[in-house]
Structure 1
Amino acid sequence: MLGPTNFLTRHLLNFIGAFTVFGVSIINISGAAGLLSIPLAVVAYYASNKITFAVQKSSQSKKIGISKSEYTLIDAQLKQAKSHVQALNQQYVRVRSVRSFKQINEMSKLAKRIINLVQTNPQKFYAVEDFFYAHLPSAVELSDKYTLLTKEQIPSTDVHLALEDTRKTLKELQVTMEDDLKSALSSDIENLKIELDFAKMSNEKRKDRLKIGGE
């Protein structure tokens, strides 16, 4: 959840720290022992990266109002979800019908929107936990099995029934993911309603003041 600015800042600080250690050590260590300057610089870079990353995570978690353990959990789930979306996107080249392609594409877009919302506001994670723990992983697993069965093209009643059942379940999962997206957006919608109500009240008060002034 740390952005590009955090990444660049962290590695710039790491480079400065490593370069400083390298410069100091190569000046103070003479002879063949001076070769130790390189591994010392590498160790300094690694240590600086760990420390700076921890500080950035702590600062970011405080900024968004969650604990460090919650931050670590949500960050891990976001990374896992992104890998699931990549796996889902790989099914594009394996599907054999336009309907299946559209369905996978729609689920992929829903997943990306939910992930982006949680990445922007990590507290939304708790409104869509089932999406991360169950719905998205199930969509990936079922779509993989579905495309595998369609690829085999075995003329069997059992296979046909399995395909129909899987297709139906995938459709249900798509609807469930749409509900997940609504859940992720619910707080934003509620805040928008409050802001609209406040704006209407303010506008009414302004009109009342103008009427009184006009009289």
Structure 2
Amino acid sequence: MKRSTWTIIGLVTIGAIIFGTMLSDYFPVLLLIGGVLLVVYGFKGKSAPVSNNSLPVLSKKREQTYLESGMSYREIEFFRETLNQAKQEIEKLQANISQNAKLKAIDLRHDTIRAAKALFKELVKEPTRLNEASHFLYTHLPNMVDLTNKYLEINNHEIKSRDTYEKMEESIQIIDQMASLITQDYQKFVADDLEELDVELSIAKQSIKRENQYKEEVR
């Protein structure tokens, strides 16, 4: 029942009390209590629903991990808020891409969603490197969401002019470039890991080569 309805009921009840005072000594008192409660409830209303964007509860184990990495409580809060926003944007981008064939083709070409999710996971593992993903978090990802939002909006227009089609084609080209940048963001973030892997592979290959040479000499 709406708040205004409860208010009206309460006021009507209180009005009935005034009339009922001539009929009984106790009945009006009970009505008065009920009327006041209804009015209060009507003005108070129901509590506001919890936002879906609220931060999840931080476990003690995760908090301890952040603290041990050298982060302050303020830095932890900022990090969690930033990643929460990024998570919502990735989910929105994925939803947008699923609605259009051209956007799907771009995603397949660049692995945009996979790259975005992979970079998100890397940040969760290495929170102190948040600043290294600033282009992804504050420019490329939000711009990609905005561009795909606008593209879908225009694409849903029932009547499109020649100029509209030209703008849509231009938008697709920009979206394609932005998708490529997101993939590059991930590749740059894990570049050190790849270099370390290259070194380890090189050492392993040399070790295998020496082992094979030794076996040949022994024969």
For the criterion TM > 0.5, the same-fold answer is yes
1:15-30 counterparts in 2 under 5 A? Answer: none
Give the SS at the match of 2:89: helix
Q: Which runs of 5+ in 2 are unaligned?
A: 1-56
1:81-127 C-alpha deviation (Å, 9 max, x unpaired):
110012112324643xx222332564322211211222233344333
Tell me the TM-score normalized by structure 2. 0.60
Greater share of helix residues, 1 or 2?
1
Q: Give the corresponding residue for 2:199.
A: 194
Q: Give the corresponding residue for 1:72.
A: 77
Give the SS at the match of 1:155: coil
Give the conservation status (yes or no) of the 8 Å contact 2:83–2:120.
yes
Q: Which of 162, 165, 171 is the aligned partner of 1:166?
A: 171
Change (3 A) 1:110 1:159: same
Task: Say if 2:176 is the partner of 1:148.
Answer: no
1:166-190 C-alpha deviation (Å, 9 max, x unpaired):
1111001011111111112202102
* Structure 2: distance between partners of 1:209 and 1:62: 50
Task: Say if 2:185 is the partner of 1:180.
Answer: yes
Give the conservation status (yes or no) of the 8 Å contact 1:135–1:177.
yes
* Structure 2: distance between partners of 1:111 and 1:80: 13
Larger-gyration structure (1/2): 2
Q: Give the corresponding residue for 2:105.
A: 102
* Structure 1: distance between partners of 2:213 and 2:70: 43
* Structure 2: distance between partners of 1:62 and 1:178: 30
Compute the RMSD of aligned alpha carbons.
3.1
Same amino acid, percent of matched pairs: 19
Tell me the TM-score normalized by structure 1. 0.61
1:105-120 counterparts in 2 under 5 A? Answer: 106-120=111-125
Give the conservation status (yes or no) of the 8 Å contact 2:115–2:186.
yes
Change (3 A) 1:104 1:192: closer
* Structure 2: distance between partners of 1:110 and 1:154: 35
Amino acid at match of 2:146: E
Give the SS at the match of 2:156: helix
Change (3 A) 1:94 1:153: farther
Change (3 A) 1:201 1:73: farther
Q: Give the corresponding residue for 2:131.
A: 126
* Structure 2: distance between partners of 1:146 and 1:104: 15
Change (3 A) 1:59 1:103: same
Note the C-alpha offset of 1:58: 4.7
Change (3 A) 1:53 1:148: closer
Give the SS at the match of 2:191: helix
Give the SS at the match of 1:152: coil
> Paired residues, what number?
160
Q: Which runs of 5+ in 1 are unaligned?
A: 1-51
Give the SS at the match of 1:128: helix
